Amino acid sequence: MQKLMAPVQRVLVCLAFSLFLVSSLQAKDDNLNVDNPSEPKTLDTRPDLNDVSDMAFIRVGKFFRGSNFEENKAAFKMCRKYDKSCKLWWFSDEYPGKLVSLDNYWIDIYEVTNEKYLEFVKATEHPPALDNSCTTDACREGNLWQGASFPSAISRQPVTQVNWYDADAYCKWRGKRLPTEAEWEKAARGPSGNSYPWGESSPKGRASYNRKWKGIYTMTNVGSYPNGVSLYGVHDMAGNVWEWVDDWYNRTYYTYGTKSNPKGYVEGEFKSLRGGSWVNFPDSLRSAFRRWSRPDVRFNDTGFRCAKSAPPDMKFKN
């Protein structure tokens, strides 16, 4: 009788083990389910570090950087229309205007959005885009994120409340880097040095500027002003948000710095910002205008875009 029961027992044992194994695998699958509402969705892999589909190619060559003295005076005159305390020396860091040479590179067509930055936060556990140092209600109102989330209405708006280190970390995670100040200016002005990305005419209907703070309704979605695009097809390089660039700011760098692939000095106290924002007047939206800030500070009018060096033998036409 025992000889007859042994095979049956073995079958029952194998069946029980199989059921246990299937149950265990199902439980593991449930724990990994990205649609589980009790668990936040996270990214398992880094983005494609070679993807440049969302970038504009800027061809090797020279462009006119900065302003001459006559342009400085014109900028001062424009500034006086909006601010009677304006001084001519405010624009002296744009002087002198010079032809500058840059190698091939790519630059993001759009400013980095909240939805793009959220991918980075979830994948790396980097702190969310908000200023935790606020001590006043006015400051806290600038925080459009609540923890690692934000209203869906601002998904396509440029991310703000990020400091230079946040921007630098994001770009590196994407396999990119922050643009140099010269790269940013060429992408905005074109080779001949336009006053604005679109040319010389008024920013009206071409940018978000001269606005008051209205929370999630302050800024516009990236790409909202097709008439404000630059010669290279880059959007929102005037208004909406200031943009961090890689360089340490120096008031006299245009006088003493190199004219071939300039990258600023190797150290400093402030980082450069470019492009103007939703709160600024037209004089601050000029593509030659320079602003500076400590790299550890976050603002509700400041974001960024990324760049990437391109091979020297690329021949795309621009």
pLDDT at 37: 36
pLDDT at 32: 34
Model pTM score: 0.85
What is the pLDDT at residue 316? 59
Q: For residues 280 and 3, which has the higher predicted lDDT (pLDDT)?
A: 280
- What mean pLDDT is predicted for residues 169-183? 98
Give dist(CA 87, CA 93) in Å, integer. Answer: 13
Mean pLDDT check: name the lowest of 19-33, 140-154, 171-185.
Answer: 19-33
Q: Is the dihedral of CA 188, 190, 195, 197 positive or negative?
A: negative
Q: What is the mean pLDDT of the chain?
A: 88
Q: With bands split at pLDDT 50, 70 and 90, how would you rate the model's confidence at 244?
A: very high
Mind listing the pLDDT tens digit for each residue in 177-221? 999 999 999 999 999 999 999 999 999 999 999 999 999 999 999
How many CA atoms lie within 13 Å of 185's alpha carbon, on the beta-carbon side? 33
Residue in the structure block whose two tokens are 């409340």: 161
Q: Which CATH architecture has domain 55-309?
A: Alpha-Beta Complex (3.90)
